[in-house]
């Protein structure tokens, strides 16, 4: 840090000044990883990427709301900031983007961002939308049966809430008052389908009432609001109060993935206007106003994050691809025909 800022305010419960700066750093690091991923795809170096630009605050707020090393998260493919905030490194992220042999999540088998990091309590997911919601609820049931004070946080987009599996999972969790928190990152689109063509209600949170627990709406472009609301829900679940559905309202700045072109269903003006909701400058202002970030700190943190992403990219690109004999690694437990 170039200058030691003077803290002038009381901090949100459970967060130190260092943790708040670390949250900011993770948001910037994710943004730079995302930008690099899209550039690598356009250079023909990686096959596919999904960006979480516009979701960083919702995801980092959620990551800091859980008890690390105790609680589990079941993320979805857009949760890069969540994963990086929970300890996935830029090197690990780049290994999966380049589909290298050393890719921690699937040895280069899966789509990128299909995390699997048991030592950081991040469960793997399938590409089938909403399939992981039932898995997360099953995990919560297991923790309950083992009498372990563990909460499971399951994340998804608003489009996932149209799937039957989503409703089955929430219904079961409500009946059994399971220790699970559902975080809907509502970015207003499911690929090209806007929310108004996906459901006849304005708020996903309203669906929770049908399952007998609360739904809470929060500003998902504000990491502190998201943190506060998810933390409250997590601790209520741990204390036996059952599930909560948190709807973090955010936005998707980029196309659905590198395979999509949002200009076929959004105007350039609509896309440009999203910049006003960018969570990063907003959180930077919040930290500055409270004396938590000094004059030159933001630029210095950005330089540090850029160096980390550059190093991770070069390193991962130089790693070997999966070998032929690895064809079935992580596919079958003991060979396809045994």
Ligand X SMILES: Cc1ncc(C[n+]2csc(CCOP(=O)(O)OP(=O)(O)O)c2C)c(N)n1
Angle between helices 56-65 and 17-42 (to 10 degrees): 140
Nearer to ligand X, 135 or 256 (CB): 256
Q: What mask, x for binding ligand X by CB under 6 A, covers residues 254 to 283?
A: --x---------------------------
129 makes contact with ligand X (CB under 6 A): yes
Dihedral sign for Cα 176, 177, 179, 180, please: positive
111 makes contact with ligand X (CB under 6 A): no
Answer yes or no: 176 catalytic.
Answer: no
Answer yes or no: 252 catalytic.
Answer: yes
Nearer to ligand X, 189 or 213 (CB): 189
112 makes contact with ligand X (CB under 6 A): no
Nearer to ligand X, 136 or 159 (CB): 159
154 makes contact with ligand X (CB under 6 A): no
Answer yes or no: 256 catalytic.
Answer: yes
Nearer to ligand X, 164 or 320 (CB): 164
Tell me the longest C-alpha to C-alpha distance in the chain.
Answer: 65
Count of residues of this chain found to bind ligand X when the rule CB under 6 A is applied: 15
Nearer to ligand X, 15 or 37 (CB): 37
Least separation in angstroms between residue 195's CB and ligand X is 8
Which residue among 109, 265, 288, 302 is the active-site one? 265
Residue 292 — φ and ψ, nearest 5°?
Answer: -95, -10
The span of 29-37, 122-130, 200-208, 225-233 binding ligand X (CB under 6 A) equals 122-130
83 makes contact with ligand X (CB under 6 A): no
Residues 182-201 touching ligand X, rule: CB under 6 A, are 187, 189-191
User: Active-site residue numbers?
Assistant: 252, 256, 265
Residues that bind ligand X (CB under 6 A): 78, 127-129, 156-160, 187, 189-191, 252, 256
């Amino acid at each position: 840090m170039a200058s030691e800022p003077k803290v002038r305010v009381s901090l949100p419960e459970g967060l130190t000044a260092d943790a708040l700066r670390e949250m900011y750093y993770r948001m910037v690091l994710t943004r730079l990883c995302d930008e690099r991923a899209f550039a690598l795809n356009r250079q023909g170096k990686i096959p596919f990427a999904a960006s979480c630009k516009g979701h960083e605050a919702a995801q980092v707020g959620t990551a800091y709301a859980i008890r690390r090393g105790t609680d589990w998260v079941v993320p979805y493919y857009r949760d890069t900031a969540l994963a990086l905030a929970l300890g996935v490194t830029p090197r690990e992220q780049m290994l999966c983007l380049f589909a290298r042999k050393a890719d921690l999540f699937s040895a280069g088998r899966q789509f990128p961002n299909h995390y699997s990091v048991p030592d950081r309590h991040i469960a793997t997911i399938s590409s089938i939308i909403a399939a992981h919601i039932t898995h997360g609820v099953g995990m919560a049931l297991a923790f309950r049966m083992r009498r372990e004070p563990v909460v499971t946080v399951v994340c998804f987009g608003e489009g996932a809430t149209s799937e039957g599996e989503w409703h089955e999972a929430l219904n079961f969790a409500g009946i059994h008052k399971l220790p699970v928190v559902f975080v809907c990152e509502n970015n207003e689109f499911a690929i090209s389908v806007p929310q108004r063509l996906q459901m006849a209600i304005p708020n996903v949170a309203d669906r929770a009432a049908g399952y007998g627990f609360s739904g809470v709406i929060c500003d998902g472009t504000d990491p502190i609001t998201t943190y506060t609301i998810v933390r409250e829900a997590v601790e209520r679940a741990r204390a036996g109060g059952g599930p909560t559905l948190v709807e973090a309202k955010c936005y998707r700045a980029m196309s659905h993935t590198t395979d999509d072109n949002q200009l076929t269903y959004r105007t350039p003006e609509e896309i440009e206007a999203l910049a006003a909701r960018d969570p990063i400058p907003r959180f930077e202002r919040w930290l500055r106003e409270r004396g938590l970030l000094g004059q030159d700190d933001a630029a210095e943190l950005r330089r540090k994050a850029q160096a980390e992403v550059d190093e991770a990219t070069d390193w991962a690109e130089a790693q070997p691809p999966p070998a032929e004999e690895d064809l079935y690694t992580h596919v079958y437990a003991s060979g396809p025909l045994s």
